[in-house]
């Protein structure tokens, strides 16, 4: 199972979501992509998209105002 990190620090939406979607297409079912971001809007955009696409996700606040958004590819797309 792969675990890929994407550095999206200082990047505004929709860039983190676009990078996440592109990376997930390359991965196998069960793999995880971690989006590192300091943009709070990315949390909302990514979680709404993940729910719509039926992907598992969870969020860790790594520092004040910085988050890791984990998205697991739970189905083939």
Q: Are 4 and 32 in contact (CB under 8 A)?
A: yes
Confidence of residue 22 (pLDDT cuts 50, 70, 90): very high
Inside any domain, residue 24: yes
**75 in Cβ contact with 29 (< 8 Å):** yes
Does residue 74 sit within a domain?
Answer: no
For residue 55, the model assigns a pLDDT of 95
The total number of structural domains that make up the chain:
1
Phi, psi of 52 (to 5 degrees): -60, -40
pTM, 2 dp: 0.93
pLDDT, position 76: 54
User: Is 76 within a domain?
Assistant: no
Residue 10 falls inside a structural domain: yes
Provide the pLDDT confidence category of residue 72 given band limits of 50, 70 and 90: very high
pLDDT band at 1, cuts 50/70/90?
confident
pLDDT at 12 over 90: yes
CATH code: domain of residue 17: 3.30.110.40
Q: Show the domain range for 62.
A: 3-68
């Amino acid at each position: 199972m792969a675990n890929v990190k994407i550095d999206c620090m200082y990047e505004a939406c929709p860039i983190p979501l676009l990078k996440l979607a592109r990376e997930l297409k390359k991965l196998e079912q069960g793999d995880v992509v971690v989006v590192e971001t300091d943009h709070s809007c990315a949390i909302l955009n990514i979680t709404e998209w993940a729910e719509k696409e039926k992907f598992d996700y969870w969020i860790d606040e790594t520092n004040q105002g910085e988050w890791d958004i984990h998205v697991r590819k739970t189905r083939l797309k």
